[in-house]
Amino acid sequence: MENEKNSSRRSFISKSALALFTAAIGSKIVFGENLPADLEPVGLESGGDTKLIPGKSGKLKILNDKPWNAETPVHLLDPEVTPANLMFVRNNGIPPVEVDVNNWTLEISGESVKQTKKYSLKELMQKFKHYSYNLTLECGGNGRSEFNPPAKGNQWGLGGVACTKWTGVRLKDILNDVGLKDDAVYIGYYGADTHLSGDQSKVVISRGVPIGKAMEDETLIAWAMNDQPIPVMNGYPLRLVIGGWPASVSGKWLTKIAVRNKIHDGPKMEGHSYRIPKYPVPPGTKVPDEGMKIIESMPVKSIITYPKKGAVVSKGQTFEVRGHAWAGDLAVKEMHVSIDFGVTWTKCELMPPKNRLAWQRWKTNLQLPEIGYYEIWARATDEKGKAQPMVLPGWNPKGYLNNASHRIGIIQR
């Protein structure tokens, strides 16, 4: 009986909320009867204020300024190649204030190298072959703001992602130059950023990847983004770039790579940092460290970049819907959108990636049946057949890997 009362009360609250929402927008919610009971309409507002931050000419939504963290409004991610001035910022410390490019060096060392070497930027550019790849980098906490109960950390929307052209040398060519021992299992990076405490001796963040990922063709030591020097906030003058995994493994202001004979144990590799539970847990659960596993390949995901949230279309108008989809180490196989809260889905045209680990462009044309408020939902499916969930995936303490369907609200008048 108590459960029936709670169910009725939730239903009443939901109906009341929908009635208020309908009154506020002055329009009917088309297909409103299909809206899942635990979801509220996403609404029509396009988001919070955007501002300029140091080293960026594009306007980003600032989440934190100590350290700088800022995301890109999703509709500004529409180009196939993200403009450098609009790439999101995710910093853990203070970027170097002065960079002496002529004296910048990269050290390769660790238990599992045959010899320790240092390379100047000029030596890297002259000694090794250059490569360019479009690579998708996404913050592991992108979408954190949707988790309930809230997870600790910057409350990212969906703009902590970008796909830019990176140019540099392959990490594997450098590692082969120094020589690897048979016991090499992991690499870890170190950068020139300063700890927020101001303590120069403290390492801000030092993460890494297994040696197999480090040796992939697309893993770069890069000095250029979109054929220009990397923006200061994104790692100038040298950055490790590893697509498909959390962007935290792509170390900025790069000064050293350590080749390890064990899983790297630098700051932000321990505890709950960039880890999720090994097993499903109820929301709000405290998970012990031994119950957590390191995040590796990112899950399948997509965003709608056009139309912009809150757009108004004319009755009977056919309009294009488009965006991007990606799936960590995998390719995206299919893309669908829904206008009836996930009851039916329309298959989209899906373009191949520019290269492995780049996001994929998708598009379709829609025509809405009647006047009113609609939500467009986007759902990608990877090459192994795994699709995005329509609602939030499994909860985790740090709010990582939210790959629920992107939803935007629009009006037809």
- What is the per-residue pLDDT across 79-91, written as a single tens digit (0 to 9) for each? 999 999 999 999 9
Q: Write the burial class of residue 18 (CB in 10 Å: 0-12 exposed, 13-18 middle, 19+ buried).
A: middle
pLDDT at position 154: 95
User: What digits encode the pLDDT tens for the residues 136-162?
Assistant: 999 999 999 999 888 889 999 999 999
Rounded to 10 degrees, what is the CA torsion of 71, 77, 82, 86?
A: -40
3-state secondary structure of 74: helix
Instruction: Could you list the beta-strand ranges (E) of 154-234.
Output: 161-170, 186-191, 208-210, 220-225, 228-229
pLDDT at position 46: 62
Task: Please measure the distance between the N-terminal and C-terminal CA atoms of the chain and give it in whole angstroms.
Answer: 44
CATH homologous superfamily of 61-294 equals Oxidoreductase, molybdopterin-binding domain (3.90.420.10)
User: What digits encode the pLDDT tens for the residues 241-284?
Assistant: 999 999 999 999 999 999 999 999 999 999 999 999 999 999 99
Choose between 166 and 22: higher pLDDT.
166
Instruction: Give the residue among 255, 161, 173, 178 at the shortest CA–CA distance from 217.
Output: 173
Q: What's the full length of the chain, in residues?
A: 413
Q: For the residues of 328-348, what is the DSSP string, one character each?
A: TTBPEEEEEEESSTTSS-EE-
Instruction: Could you list the beta-strand ranges (E) of 20-171.
Output: 61-65, 68-71, 89-90, 105-109, 117-120, 130-138, 161-170
Instruction: For residues 106 and 252, give the distance between their C-alpha atoms in angstroms, rounded to a whole number.
Output: 12
19 pLDDT tier (thresholds 50, 70, 90): confident
pLDDT at 6 over 50: no
Tokens 């064990």 belong to residue: 262
pLDDT at position 14: 59
Instruction: Could you list the beta-strand ranges (E) of 121-160.
Output: 130-138
| Cβ proximity of 68 and 154 under 8 Å | no
* Mean of all residue pLDDT scores within the chain: 93
- Kind plus residue range of the DSSP H or E element containing 14: helix 2-25
pLDDT at position 393: 84
User: What digits encode the pLDDT tens for the residues 201-226?
Assistant: 999 999 999 999 999 999 999 999 99
338 pLDDT tier (thresholds 50, 70, 90): very high
User: What digits encode the pLDDT tens for the residues 363-390?
Assistant: 999 999 999 999 999 999 999 999 999 9
- The token duo for 183 is 């016991």
pLDDT at position 7: 38
Half-sphere exposure of 113 (CA within 13 A, CB side): 19
pLDDT at position 162: 98
pLDDT at position 111: 98
User: What digits encode the pLDDT tens for the residues 340-355?
Assistant: 999 999 999 999 999 9
pLDDT at position 26: 80
pLDDT at position 10: 37
pLDDT at position 8: 36
User: What digits encode the pLDDT tens for the residues 34-71?
Assistant: 988 778 888 887 656 677 787 777 789 999 989 999 99
**Domain spans, the chain:** 2-30, 61-294
Can you name the residues that pair with 70 across neighbouring β-strands?
A: 62, 89
Instruction: For residues 296 and 269, give the distance between their C-alpha atoms in angstroms, rounded to a whole number.
Output: 12
